[in-house]
């Protein structure tokens, strides 16, 4: 039973190599995107820190600011 799944009538090498390549590509792309997201969030937090009180309140009222913070917390600022 397991042998049939692994060998797939002689095509198993091609199928499993394609599957592993695809899975590896997805994992690598996910990690790259995650690293870029963290970098962009850090830039955002550093830029937000430099604002004075009035500019900070104005930024908090903007829609895009609320969208950015819906999934992440800025409490470390």
pLDDT, one tens digit per residue, over 10-45 is 999 999 999 999 999 999 999 999 999 999 988 888
pLDDT above 90: percentage of residues in the chain: 40
User: Who's near 51: CB < 8 A, 6+ residues apart?
Assistant: 59
For residue 61, what pLDDT is reported? 77
Return the DSSP state at 77. -
Determine the 3-state secondary structure of 66 from DSSP.
Answer: helix
């Amino acid at each position: 039973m397991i042998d049939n799944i692994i060998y797939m009538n002689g095509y198993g090498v091609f199928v499993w190599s394609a599957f592993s390549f695809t899975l590896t590509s997805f994992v690598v792309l996910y990690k790259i995107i995650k690293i870029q997201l963290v970098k962009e969030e850090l830039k955002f937090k550093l830029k937000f820190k430099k604002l004075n009180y009035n500019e900070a309140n104005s930024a908090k009222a903007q829609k895009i600011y609320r969208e950015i913070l819906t999934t992440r917390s800025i409490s470390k600022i």
